[in-house]
Chain A
């Protein structure tokens, strides 16, 4: 198993290097001169301009600049925000936990509902439940997330008043940040009311963010289960006299999990895209909202560092999925070179 993980890690090296190249190129592609951007609208005399370029190292060859940038990335220096002047990495680390917390709950919700729905739809193929589940999941899959979120806010927050409209927690609670995950921090602070408030704020955004993964997982689970249920080893398992429950939920589901895990992994990657929209609707202080604001304010260092960090996070999720793969499928584990 360690060899398997190591081989996957080695395969990631070119991807990560490519990402830095892409992020570096992004800074060159952005319209406008970095010096002018830094100095603002005021005109500056050419000599000062050249001195600034030299001070910033912009007059060196591109390859040298890239290596310099790479060195900065390796030591955690991703530049500073043009707006807040704070280091990009620091800003990322304050918003990242909010996104992770939201995403984890959203994926957990999607798995908890999507997996059983897909299994039951496959076992009861052609039934009313199957038809309903697949229609609903195709609809969910086609849902414009930003609109779905608004509808749910209209219904649950505005009309019924069940859930808060925005934010992570009521302002009256002051929770000392330890992990950045409010659900965890409130527990550490032993503040039950704050925990309830954080959970309360999390429900609706998590459902919105989890909708598309839920639909994808249900569809994939169903089709993977249908395929596995046809397999010879399922018939052989039935021939052993095993109960239907054991055949379906142990043998069939275990085999069907292999493609489903891919989908969950992919869904987690696309979750960040969904998070951009969900966080905007719910004013959720996470990575998505942070990046959209950076685009709007033309805060390019934040954008440049941010996509690199997000890409890194996605790559980590993919690595995790690969490892899970190996755990689930002994054939893949042993095929690892």
Chain B
């Protein structure tokens, strides 16, 4: 049984009469202990999908799904209280801006212990011991003194380590990391990614890595989903996704990477930007930006169909052998 099983997830904002779908037809299956990547430009709906899974969206978001299972729990059938009970204990999340994600009015130690106190019956000294051990495991130097530190006294990288410590406080089975390194310095990014993978291997939790940065995910995730304009457009093992992309958007993402280019060659930027939920074109949402678009792409929306070792949402998937155009 997969740890996470999502089928047909849909998130709407706006008026009921004119709903704006931030996420549609979102499918994701994640095995116990797997590392999965979710890639897309900002505005593609990946964060909204993750927040919907956690149940952290505001009351103006309407969530529907054919299937939203976590382990043997049907998340849609659970009461709000029961779902909240899963957060921080079974499934945890790390956010993009670590400094803003820590409450400036509470000490680091208190913020870690708070999660433990919420989910486990532990005495004060046992909680403190656990918090100390967590800070040590996320590689914070002098952890004993850091327990009494305030968030504003720590750097961004340190704050993200604290956030990870909080997320792991109750040994969750799933950790969602939403752009965990985007707000950090380049040198710190690699350390945090290394830490996340190391902790994943040590604890055996599943890791859902959300990023706009395809190479970052390519190095770490076993399988990767690519999102565009609220939908998943391609999904397959990361290695084959990078080597033989079938969706033009995946291909465009890869072509835009500087390291895939030889000297003197021009960098291929994707012209235009992700359409907002209200302004999505008819047919395939990517067709206005797609160099391979044909008339059918503007008329008929493609479905996500099985394709080799994964699936792709395209009327005319690219031939893996063809040279770049």
Q: Do the two chains touch directly in the complex (Cβ atoms below 8 Å apart)?
A: yes
Chain A contact residues, CB within 8 Å of chain B: 231-233, 235-243, 251, 254-255, 328-331, 334
Contact residues in A for B97 (Cβ distance below 8 Å): 232
**Are B105 and A232 in contact, with the CB atoms below 8 A?**
no
Q: How far is the CB of B207 from chain A (nearest CB, A)?
A: 16
Instruction: Write out, one digit per residue, whether chain B residues 63-96 have a CB within 8 A of any chain A CB (1) or not (0).
Output: 0000000000000000000001111110011010
B296 near A: Cβ within 8 Å? no
Contact residues in B for A231 (Cβ distance below 8 Å): 100
**Are B114 and A236 in contact, with the CB atoms below 8 A?**
no
Q: List 6 A-B contacts (CB under 8 A).
A: A233-B104, A235-B101, A239-B56, A239-B87, A241-B85, A334-B152
- Given A233-B103, A241-B115, A255-B103, check contact A331 B88 (CB 8 Å): no
B130 near A: Cβ within 8 Å? no
Contact of B100 among A232, A237, A240, A331 (CB under 8 A): A232
**Are A241 and B89 in contact, with the CB atoms below 8 A?**
yes
Which residue of A has the minimal Cβ distance to B89? A241
Which residue of A has the minimal Cβ distance to B54? A239
B273 near A: Cβ within 8 Å? no
Contact of B166 among A238, A240, A331, A334 (CB under 8 A): A240
Contact of A236 among B86, B89, B102, B153 (CB under 8 A): B102
Instruction: Write out, one digit per residue, whether chain B residues 157-191 have a CB within 8 A of any chain A CB (1) or not (0).
Output: 00000010011000000000000000000000000
Given the complex of chains A and B, what is the CA–CA distance between A193 and B102 in angstroms? 52
**Are A237 and B152 in contact, with the CB atoms below 8 A?**
no
Given the complex of chains A and B, what is the CA–CA distance between A254 and B110 in angstroms? 14
Closest 8 pairs (CB-CB, A-B): A241-B87, A241-B88, A232-B100, A240-B88, A236-B101, A330-B150, A233-B103, A240-B115
Q: How far is the CB of B256 from chain A (nearest CB, A)?
A: 29
Chain B contact residues, CB within 8 Å of chain A: 51, 54, 56, 84-89, 92-93, 95, 97, 100-106, 114-115, 118-119, 150, 152-153, 163, 166-167
Contact of B152 among A235, A236, A251, A331 (CB under 8 A): A331
Contact residues in B for A242 (Cβ distance below 8 Å): 84, 88, 114, 118
**Are A255 and B89 in contact, with the CB atoms below 8 A?**
no
Contact residues in A for B102 (Cβ distance below 8 Å): 233, 236
Which residue of B has the minimal Cβ distance to A125? B59
Contact of B118 among A236, A241, A255, A330 (CB under 8 A): A241
Q: How far is the CB of A66 from chain B (nearest CB, A)?
A: 45
Given the complex of chains A and B, what is the CA–CA distance between A238 and B91 in angstroms? 12
Contact of B84 among A235, A241, A331 (CB under 8 A): A241
Q: How far is the CB of B117 from chain A (nearest CB, A)?
A: 10
**Are A255 and B100 in contact, with the CB atoms below 8 A?**
no
Contact residues in B for A237 (Cβ distance below 8 Å): 103
Contact residues in A for B100 (Cβ distance below 8 Å): 231-233
Given the complex of chains A and B, what is the CA–CA distance between A99 and B103 in angstroms? 39
Given the complex of chains A and B, what is the CA–CA distance between A255 and B101 in angstroms? 13
**Are B103 and A331 in contact, with the CB atoms below 8 A?**
no
Contact of A334 among B54, B92, B118, B150 (CB under 8 A): B150
- Given A241-B85, A251-B103, A334-B152, check contact A236 B119 (CB 8 Å): no
**Are A331 and B150 in contact, with the CB atoms below 8 A?**
yes
Contact residues in A for B153 (Cβ distance below 8 Å): 334
Additional A-B contact list (9), CB under 8 Å, known A231-B100, A251-B106: A232-B97, A233-B101, A235-B56, A236-B102, A236-B163, A238-B87, A240-B114, A241-B86, A334-B150
Given the complex of chains A and B, what is the CA–CA distance between A240 and B94 in angstroms? 10
**Are B84 and A329 in contact, with the CB atoms below 8 A?**
no
Q: How far is the CB of B28 from chain A (nearest CB, A)?
A: 19
Q: How far is the CB of A336 from chain B (nearest CB, A)?
A: 13
Contact residues in A for B115 (Cβ distance below 8 Å): 240-241
Which residue of A has the minimal Cβ distance to B167? A239
Contact residues in A for B118 (Cβ distance below 8 Å): 240-243
Contact residues in B for A233 (Cβ distance below 8 Å): 100-104
Contact residues in A for B87 (Cβ distance below 8 Å): 238-241
Contact residues in A for B105 (Cβ distance below 8 Å): 251, 254-255, 328-330
Contact residues in A for B89 (Cβ distance below 8 Å): 241
Given the complex of chains A and B, what is the CA–CA distance between A251 and B101 in angstroms? 12
Given the complex of chains A and B, what is the CA–CA distance between A144 and B100 in angstroms? 42
Contact residues in A for B92 (Cβ distance below 8 Å): 239-240
**Are B104 and A330 in contact, with the CB atoms below 8 A?**
yes
**Are B104 and A255 in contact, with the CB atoms below 8 A?**
yes
Most-contacted residue by chain B among A235, A241, A243, A251 (CB, 10 A): A241
Contact residues in B for A254 (Cβ distance below 8 Å): 103, 105-106
Most-contacted residue by chain B among A236, A251, A255, A331 (CB, 10 A): A236
Given the complex of chains A and B, what is the CA–CA distance between A243 and B114 in angstroms? 11
Most-contacted residue by chain B among A232, A329, A334 (CB, 10 A): A232
Which residue of B has the minimal Cβ distance to A328? B105
Contact residues in B for A255 (Cβ distance below 8 Å): 103-105
Contact residues in A for B54 (Cβ distance below 8 Å): 239
Contact residues in B for A329 (Cβ distance below 8 Å): 104-105
Which residue of A has the minimal Cβ distance to B83? A241
Which residue of B has the minimal Cβ distance to A232? B100
Given the complex of chains A and B, what is the CA–CA distance between A329 and B105 in angstroms? 6
Q: How far is the CB of B287 from chain A (nearest CB, A)?
A: 35
Given the complex of chains A and B, what is the CA–CA distance between A238 and B95 in angstroms? 12
Contact residues in B for A330 (Cβ distance below 8 Å): 104-105, 150, 152
